[in-house]
Structure 1
Amino acid sequence: MKLLEGLTVLDFSQFLAGPSAALRLADLGARVIKIERPKTGDASRQLKLKNLAVDGDSLLFHTINRNKESYAVDLRDPDDLAKVKRLIPHVDVIIENFRPGKMKQFGLDYTSVKKLNPRIVYGTVTGYGTEGPWQDKPGQDLLIQSLTGLAWLNGEADQPPTPFPLSIADMFAGMHLVQGILACLIQRGSASHGGLVEVSLTEALLDFQFEVLTTHLNDGGKQPERSAVNNAHAYLGAPYGIYETKNGYIALAMGSVVELGGLLECPALLNYRDEALWFSKRDEIKRLLVQHLRQKTTEAWLEVLEKGGYWCADVLSWGRLVNHEGFKALDMVQTVSRSQAQSIQTTRCPIRVNGQKLFAPKGAPRVGEDNQAIEQAFHL
């Protein structure tokens, strides 16, 4: 029995943040009913990555909506809206990520819903929260990376702001939403009511930077200094970064520059015995490493450094990663499919419970695929 078996979730959200939270609840055993517009459904069904689609829907949609059911309704239609409201007393969790005020137009905001079901746990995702001058801006990942300083923190000192090539604001907001929902469900076990969980993409990325923002706030407001050479962390000294070798790349984490010089047989590094120099002379030290590490292969350097206990790693492409024994041992790939449709490979839930990996072979639903079954099950 999965941990959340017996819980029912109504997922009104689309794109990534809300659906990713609902996906994790589904992986843990909850029944997730995705509320979608008739015909077109979730807008991410058409949002393709590299124009890849499976069985008419984008590959992106398949990755974050597997293991769910689809209930297609038009919330502007009084009959459909009435069905949704009759469904609410039977569910445990609602997730939505409309712009602030949109759910209230349908009488589906938290204040209205808790009158129908006082034990409901209501999770909402916004781009910037529900107050302040940003609240009506479009909550898009790249825009939020830019506004929160994250893009400015990334990249080399002489480069323009560099965004992460992933939708990290959405991903982290989804994770925080799951945490808040699970906390409310625990509270509900000893109380007669549920609760409202609110997260925003902006606050998720500010929290993501808690380490460096705390340093900035307690360092007189001094701006972080990105390294001009192989920057990987604005507040860490040499050798922290990724370096080219004779046949690839190697990552070097925190460690003694002097110890590194001995292991690499690089006498020039032995001149930096004062740890303060590892930051004040960071780029100077890194330039020495750039020249030195090109002389041998990644494998040769790894053999020396790993034997010496120095923190380092190969830098794998995805092609090398998926064929590596370390990746295979994790068993992170699963196959999911729709009935009579092409199957896809995707990642599994990264959580293990009592040693058990959580796999779910059910693919993402078609729009409205489960309407009849849902209406029969809940007598709508």
Structure 2
Amino acid sequence: MRPLEGLLVIDLSQFLSGPSASLRMADMGARVIKIEKPETGDLCRDLYISNLELDGDSTLFHSINRNKESFAADLKDDAGRAAVLALIDRADVVLHNFRPGVIEKLGLDYETVSARRPRVVYGEISGYGRSGPWAKKPGQDLLVQSLSGLAWLNGDAEQPPVPFGLAVADLYAGAHLCQGVLACLVRRGITGRGGRVEVSLLESVLDLQFEVLTTYLNDGGKVPQRSRHNNAHAYLGAPYGIYATQDGYLALAMGSLLQLAAILDCPALKLYSAPDAFDQRDEIKAMLAEHLRRQTTAYWLERLEPAGYWCADVFTWPRLMEHAAFDALDMLQTVGRDERVKMTTTRCPIRIDEELLKSERGAPRLGEDTEALRREFGLP
């Protein structure tokens, strides 16, 4: 038995943030019914991050909506809204990620839903919170990365701000929503009372930066400076960063400069002490970068790893997936709608009682479960 078996989740959300939360709940055994607009459905069905699609839907939609059911209903129509409310009357969890004000217009806000179903745990994601000057601003991942200072931390000092190579704001907000919902479900098990869980993309990305933000807030407002060479962390000194070698790249984490000088046979590095690691960070990194280009990545790893110095090769996905360490994780699974429509994706990263949480059930076609759900729940 998976830990969330027996729980019913009604998911009104679309795109990435909300569906990533319900995906994790589905992985852990919850029954997730995805509410979609007739004819068009979740806009993520057409959100292509490449030209790759499967059975008419984007691979992104397939990957983030696996193991769910699809119920088509027009929330602006009285009959559609009544059917969804009837589903909510049986639900344990309701999720949405509409902009502030939209859910109230639809009559599916927390006050309305909790009055009908006091035990419900109601989770919502916004871009910037329900109030404040940015409340109605589009809650889009790149915009939030830019406004939060996250993009400004990345890249070398002379580069423009660099965003992450994935939708980190959406995915962190989804993870935080899932955490909050599970916490409320635990409380409900004790008190019988449901609750409201609110997260925003901006708050999630600010929390992601708690380490460096805390340093800034307690260091007299001193703004972190990206290093000019091989920047990886604005508050960490040399050698922390990724360096080019003769045939690839080498990641060096924090460690003793004197030890590193001996391992790399780099006498010039011996001139620097621990305080210099930050104060003369750019000079040290520039010198290291020149030295490390003289040999291959494997050459350096053969010296660093036996000495216990924290380092790593820098893999591409093809190299990673050819490695025994990746095989040992058993991280991939095949999901599909039927024997004809299948795709490979990642599994849930959580193990429960040593069991991998895999499922072969793929993402639903738009509205494919509507009639079956109407019969099962006696919907209007």
Q: Which TM class, normalised by the smaller chain length? A: over 0.9
Instruction: Name 2:312's counterpart in structure 1.
Output: 313
Instruction: Name 1:376's counterpart in structure 2.
Output: 375
Once the two structures are TM-superposed, the CA of residue 340 in structure 1 deviates from its matched residue by 4.5
Query: Whole-Å Cα distance in 2 between the matches of residues 83 and 16 of structure 1?
Result: 25
Could you tell me which amino acid in structure 2 is paired with residue 52 of structure 1? L
Query: Whole-Å Cα distance in 2 between the matches of residues 112 and 121 of structure 1?
Result: 13
Instruction: Name 1:343's counterpart in structure 2.
Output: 342
Once the two structures are TM-superposed, the CA of residue 269 in structure 1 deviates from its matched residue by 0.6
Partners of 1:55 and 1:341 within 8 A in 2:
no
**TM-score of the aligned structures, taking structure 1 as reference length:** 0.99
Q: Does 1:192 align with 2:180?
A: no
Query: Whole-Å Cα distance in 1 between the matches of residues 247 and 141 of structure 2?
Result: 35
Unaligned runs of 5+ in 2: none
Partners of 1:88 and 1:113 within 8 A in 2:
yes
Instruction: Name 2:329's counterpart in structure 1.
Output: 330
Query: Whole-Å Cα distance in 1 between the matches of residues 89 and 47 of structure 2?
Result: 33
Instruction: Name 1:148's counterpart in structure 2.
Output: 148
SS at match of 1:307: coil
Q: Does 1:117 align with 2:117?
A: yes
The runs of at least 4 consecutive aligned structure 1 residues that moved more than 3 Å come to: none
Once the two structures are TM-superposed, the CA of residue 11 in structure 1 deviates from its matched residue by 0.5
Q: Output aligned runs, 1:273-284, within 5 Å.
A: 273=273, 275-284=274-283
Deviations 1:60-101 (Å, cap 9, x if unpaired)? 101100000000001122111111111112110000001111
Instruction: Name 2:264's counterpart in structure 1.
Output: 264
**TM-score of the aligned structures, taking structure 2 as reference length:** 0.99
Instruction: Name 1:91's counterpart in structure 2.
Output: 91
SS at match of 1:336: strand
Instruction: Name 2:299's counterpart in structure 1.
Output: 300
Deviations 1:179-222 (Å, cap 9, x if unpaired)? 00000000001113200000000000000000000000011111
Deviations 1:310-349 (Å, cap 9, x if unpaired)? 0000000111011111111101000000124321100000
Instruction: Name 2:126's counterpart in structure 1.
Output: 126
Query: Whole-Å Cα distance in 2 between the matches of residues 185 and 217 of structure 1?
Result: 34
Partners of 1:173 and 1:204 within 8 A in 2:
yes
Could you tell me which amino acid in structure 1 is paired with residue 322 of structure 2? N
Query: Whole-Å Cα distance in 1 between the matches of residues 149 and 103 of structure 2?
Result: 30
State the number of aligned residues: 379
Partners of 1:351 and 1:358 within 8 A in 2:
yes
Q: Does 1:161 align with 2:161?
A: yes
SS at match of 1:155: coil
Partners of 2:10 and 2:87 within 8 A in 1:
no
Could you tell me which amino acid in structure 1 is paired with residue 226 of structure 2? R
Could you tell me which amino acid in structure 2 is paired with residue 117 of structure 1? R
SS at match of 1:373: helix
Query: Whole-Å Cα distance in 1 between the matches of residues 94 and 102 of structure 2?
Result: 15
Q: Does 1:361 align with 2:360?
A: yes
Instruction: Name 2:14's counterpart in structure 1.
Output: 14
Partners of 1:125 and 1:200 within 8 A in 2:
yes
Could you tell me which amino acid in structure 2 is paired with residue 235 of structure 1? Y
Instruction: Name 1:205's counterpart in structure 2.
Output: 205
Partners of 1:269 and 1:285 within 8 A in 2:
yes
SS at match of 1:164: coil
Return 71-80 or 166-175, whichever deviates more.
Answer: 71-80
Instruction: Name 2:178's counterpart in structure 1.
Output: 178
